[in-house]
Structure 1
Amino acid sequence: MSEAHDLGQASDTGASNEVLYDVTDAIATITLNAPERMNTISREMLSQLTALLVQAEEDNDVRCVILTGTGRAFCAGLNLEEATGGGGISGGMNSNKVSATLDLRNTPPTVMQAMDTPTICAVNGGAAGYGMDTALGCDIRLMADTAKLAAAFTKRGVVPESGGTWFLPRMIGWEKASELIFTGRTLSAEESVEWGLASRVVPAADLMGEARKLAREIADNAPLAVQASKRMMRIGLNETFPDHVHHVYLQLLPLMRSEDMKEGMMAFLEKRKPEFKGQ
């Protein structure tokens, strides 16, 4: 089944459709939809994207999320025209009323980091600055052969403000992260895989098909177990091994009483495909 949503539902203003949302066969596809400006992040897009990520996370029928973009870019970073005009994410930066706090409920990378639902970024084109960090915030990245990752922060006089300084050292180590951030280098799709920043490169025409195929493979598994596995991986980043093993055991106890675990065991014994219900 397919469920399409009007983008006004994802925004308090009900403005233009800057992000598209569709749910088909337990897979939510969220699409940045401002190709005329290469999907640069505006305040409206930020609000819609955040709301739709939360919506997907709260929907028990969604077992995997694909994030992608329309046009030739995935996301070319912040909308600099809006920002320099006093609006956008950095609105007010040149005034005396700059906030000393950040609302983490309205930043896609922090929302994605808290999600238990697996996320796949189908990087259809250039991902620069904020766009690169947003892609890195997903669990898995598939890249079109024409796509690029551009860590252009220091070339613009800023730091990776949307998670890059947290993601990159953990993903590729301190030295490689330093080289990438300090130089502001752009990596091709093939280089992104070589650096450990993407899973694989596929022809641009096959990107969404491959992303959906991977999402389907994830969605076919027991959703409670998949979500618990992601949650344990996230928690494990900040705890010792003995503490982690203990927490995994505590997470396992409710799963052992679930209908999905019984179904998984019976399907294995009966040599058939399991039918998981998330219960």
Structure 2
Amino acid sequence: MTTTPFLAVERQGAVLTARLNSPETRNALTEPAQMHELEELCRSIRRDPAVKVMVLTGEGSAFCAGGNVKDMRDRGGIFAGSPFEVRESYRNTIQRIPLALYELDVPVIAAINGPAIGAGLDLACMCDIRIAADSALFAESFVKVGIVPGDGGAWLLPRIVGMPRASLMAFTGDTINAARALEWGLVAEVVPCEALAEHAQALAQRIAANPAHALRLTKRLLREGQHMRLDSLLELSAAYQALAHHTEDHLEAVNAMLQRRPAQFTGR
């Protein structure tokens, strides 16, 4: 049982960085407490208007190795109990993570520093932007251990790489490298491993330089647009635009542009 926090969290201005901090298990996701930490972090960010961007990465050589196969063998952690208990365990632990990240209004960057396997790949897919180290590896590997994507991967992966490639990954469980992930659109950028952290922070700061309200409203529009009709999305966009036009930061952005000076945003 984990006795120390699973997440190492730090702030740099408006950017919050969370590191999966269990390198001895390759940041495997198995214990309910780990899932609750991730869920509570998302809740705390939603309550904090000063946070504009979140970076999610892994400590050590892996991003996240997915479920702990030793716990699968021993039927421990979230895999313990009867079939009905396992079902409820999934619903109340790991399945809360995609919902929490989906409802999180600030942009989330996955800085994939190493293997993202099974639930680790799905965790990366829950983020808005994925950048990878050139040494990163990716696999939707559930079938390799005789189970199915239980955390939303069957919904997430096809929306990112398309159904044919998602089917290929899910049915074979095969691993792809960072170059193939970039070719398939699974990640937006690939950078040298030693430059990943700095690159992720620079990207986060570029995003965070924009007005907070506009960022959160834009992310919500992108999320809602995945399942809304165009006419419904246009209605929501008009409402959000009306809110944005009446923020102080909008006026500051316009004045700064006209006066050719850096904008000074206040989050109002």
TM-score of the two chains, using structure 1 as the length reference: 0.90
> Greater share of helix residues, 1 or 2?
2
Distance apart, 1:99 and its partner CA? 4.3
- For the 8 Å contact 1:57–1:115, the answer to whether it is kept is yes
**Counterpart of 1:113?**
102
- For the 8 Å contact 1:120–1:211, the answer to whether it is kept is yes
Higher relative contact order (CA 8 A, sep 6+): 2
Q: In structure 2, how many angstroms separate the alpha carbons of the residues matched to 1:131 and 1:248? A: 33
**Counterpart of 1:33?**
21
Could you say what secondary structure the match of 1:158 adopts? Answer: coil
Q: In structure 1, how many angstroms separate the alpha carbons of the residues matched to 2:178 and 2:87? A: 37
**Counterpart of 2:233?**
244
Residues 22-68 of structure 1 deviation map (CA, whole Å, 9 limit, x = unaligned): 11111100000111111111313222222222222321111100000
**Counterpart of 1:136?**
125
- For the 8 Å contact 2:256–2:262, the answer to whether it is kept is yes
**Counterpart of 1:15?**
3
The aligned length equals 266
- For the 8 Å contact 1:263–1:275, the answer to whether it is kept is yes
* 1:181–1:99 CA distance, 2 compared to 1 (3 A): closer
- For the 8 Å contact 1:21–1:29, the answer to whether it is kept is yes
More off after superposition, 161-170 vs 128-137: 161-170
Residues 78-133 of structure 1 deviation map (CA, whole Å, 9 limit, x = unaligned): 122234434322222x4664445823796222211111110000000000001100
Q: In structure 1, how many angstroms separate the alpha carbons of the residues matched to 2:59 and 2:94? A: 25
Q: Does 1:203 align with 2:160?
A: no
Q: In structure 2, how many angstroms separate the alpha carbons of the residues matched to 1:27 and 1:98? A: 36
- For the 8 Å contact 1:153–1:181, the answer to whether it is kept is yes
- For the 8 Å contact 1:105–1:111, the answer to whether it is kept is no
Residue identity opposite 1:242 in structure 2: D
Q: In structure 1, how many angstroms separate the alpha carbons of the residues matched to 2:113 and 2:252? A: 37
Q: In structure 1, how many angstroms separate the alpha carbons of the residues matched to 2:19 and 2:84? A: 35
TM-score of the two chains, using structure 2 as the length reference: 0.93
More off after superposition, 168-177 vs 146-155: 168-177
- % of aligned pairs identical? 35
Could you say what secondary structure the match of 1:75 adopts? Answer: coil
Q: In structure 2, how many angstroms separate the alpha carbons of the residues matched to 1:174 and 1:233? A: 20
Instruction: Please give the residue correspondences for 1:1-279 in structure 2 after superposition, counting only pairs within 5 Å.
Output: 15-43=3-31, 44-92=33-81, 94=82, 97-99=85-87, 102-103=91-92, 107-279=96-268
Q: In structure 1, how many angstroms separate the alpha carbons of the residues matched to 2:189 and 2:3? A: 35
Could you say what secondary structure the match of 1:15 adopts? Answer: coil
Instruction: Return 5+ residue gaps in structure 2 as ranges.
Output: none
Residue identity opposite 1:171 in structure 2: I
More off after superposition, 198-207 vs 106-115: 106-115
Distance apart, 1:163 and its partner CA? 1.6
Could you say what secondary structure the match of 2:148 adopts? Answer: coil
RMSD between superposed Cα atoms in Å: 1.9
Could you say what secondary structure the match of 2:10 adopts? Answer: strand
* 1:19–1:182 CA distance, 2 compared to 1 (3 A): same
Q: In structure 2, how many angstroms separate the alpha carbons of the residues matched to 1:80 and 1:223? A: 41
Residue identity opposite 2:44 in structure 1: Q
- For the 8 Å contact 1:129–1:151, the answer to whether it is kept is yes
Residue identity opposite 1:228 in structure 2: L
